[in-house]
């Protein structure tokens, strides 16, 4: 039997409770998105500075990438840019609209 053959109708209906649309999941996803965005900004900023100097090495490059990733996570956690808040507001409106449409469909 193939992996796909084992799927039943409504495969997404059997999702456990931890994967449902909750405010905690929405907050976490928005914060992670902001961290990725800030990390990309830091990466681009580092690329704008010319390479060189006495301490240029692959080890230093790897260290800087890890440092930037941690810094991005910390910045996103404290939301200085407000990207996470804007994303949460946008997604919450979408969830409200989807819930309203579902409720109207069940009422008919």
Residue 49: DSSP 8-state: S
Calculate Rg over the CA atoms of the chain.
21
Is 76 within 8 Å of 28 (Cβ atoms)? no
Q: What are the pLDDT digits (tens) for 49-101?
A: 887 777 788 898 899 999 999 999 998 888 678 898 899 899 888 877 766 77
pTM: 0.64
Rounded alpha-carbon distances, angstroms, from residue 94 to 29, 44, 98: 15, 31, 6
Nearest residue to 72 via CA among 26, 30, 40, 108: 40
């Amino acid at each position: 039997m193939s992996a796909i053959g084992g799927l039943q109708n409504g495969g997404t209906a059997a999702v456990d409770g931890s994967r449902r649309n909750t405010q905690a999941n929405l907050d976490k996803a928005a914060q992670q998105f902001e961290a990725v965005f800030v990390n990309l900004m830091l990466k681009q900023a580092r690329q704008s500075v010319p390479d060189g100097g006495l301490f240029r090495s692959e080890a230093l490059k790897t260290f800087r990438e890890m440092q930037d990733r941690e810094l991005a996570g910390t910045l996103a956690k404290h939301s200085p840019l407000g990207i996470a808040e804007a994303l949460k507001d946008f997604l919450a409106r979408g969830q409200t609209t989807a819930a309203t449409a579902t409720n109207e469909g069940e009422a008919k």
